[in-house]
Amino acid sequence: MMRTVYLHAGLFFISFFIGQYIIAQDAAALLEKVKYKMNTVQDYAAKGTMKTDVVFIKVPVAPIESYYMKPDKFQITRKSGVSLLPKGGIGINLSSLILTSDYSVIDAGEMVIEKTKLKIIKLIPLSDESNIVLTTLYIDPQQFLIKKASTTTRENGTYELNMFYNRYITWGLPDKVIFQFNTKDYKLPKGITFEYDDGTKPADLPKNKKGKVEITYSNYTINKGAGAAAFSRK
């Protein structure tokens, strides 16, 4: 009787680990399809507007240009004013996050966002020297699109990206990106001051407040060398 119990227990654990392995393999396969879609973009140059929303801080909407070159070169240039982009924040673009294989893939289940069932996949870097501790992706498994991403770093806190797709969906490029961060992880650039609504000058950003940057792209120039040319000029 005891041997039978041990046998059933052993079979249960073997079945459990095989099941977990298959689930992990399915998550990795889905991620590969997302990467394949993103890999079709060699470079791009994009134009749009940036809206910065940080409590008590006045920062006007401004035009921006964005450049990307495969695999991980990415830059946003604001045409006027100063943007409140935390170090390592929006520069941690999706391509540089997943177009490598230096991480473990974990299936974290599913979630429904805006009536769409999304797969949740966690990426844990294999390198101890990586500034990224954990990335969580929320993927549309039908269109192979990342709809949301949350990244926790060692030095710069946790950032969240929400992507909205329309005209450039076949390329996996968002028409709008909403980037959220906590102001406690960010300091004002040296020599830069902003005004509160009452006209006073802060020495630093308010702590433990949420900051939000919203970028709306008006157009992309994709795979025409414009992105690569921008980096070659630097």
The pLDDT value given to residue 58? 64
pLDDT digit string, tens, across residues 60-74: 788 988 888 887 788
| pLDDT at 47 exceeding the cut of 60 | yes
Domains assigned to the chain: 2-232 (2.50.20)
CA-CA distance, 170 to 162, in Å (whole number)?
Answer: 18
Residues 194 and 202 sit within 8 Å (Cβ to Cβ): yes
pLDDT digit string, tens, across residues 15-36: 333 334 334 458 889 999 998 8
pLDDT digit string, tens, across residues 191-227: 444 444 444 455 555 555 677 888 999 999 999 998 8
Residues 154 and 131 sit within 8 Å (Cβ to Cβ): yes
Query: What is the pTM for the complete model shown?
Result: 0.77
CA-CA distance, 89 to 83, in Å (whole number)?
Answer: 12
The pLDDT value given to residue 54? 72
Ordered DSSP codes for the chain: -HHHHHHHHHHHHHHHHHHHHHHHHHHHHHHHHHHHHHTT--EEEEEEEEEEEETT-----EEEEEEEETTTEEEEEESSS-----TTSTTS-HHHHHSS--EEEEEEEEEEETTEEEEEEEEEES-TT-SEEEEEEEEETTTTEEEEEEEEESSS-EEEEEEE-STTGGGT--SEEEEEEEGGG--PPTT-----TTS---SSPPTT-EEEEEEEEEEEEESSSHHHHHHHT-
CA-CA distance, 217 to 94, in Å (whole number)?
Answer: 16
CA-CA distance, 40 to 172, in Å (whole number)?
Answer: 9
| pLDDT at 141 exceeding the cut of 50 | yes
The pLDDT value given to residue 93? 62
| pLDDT at 159 exceeding the cut of 80 | yes
The pLDDT value given to residue 190? 47
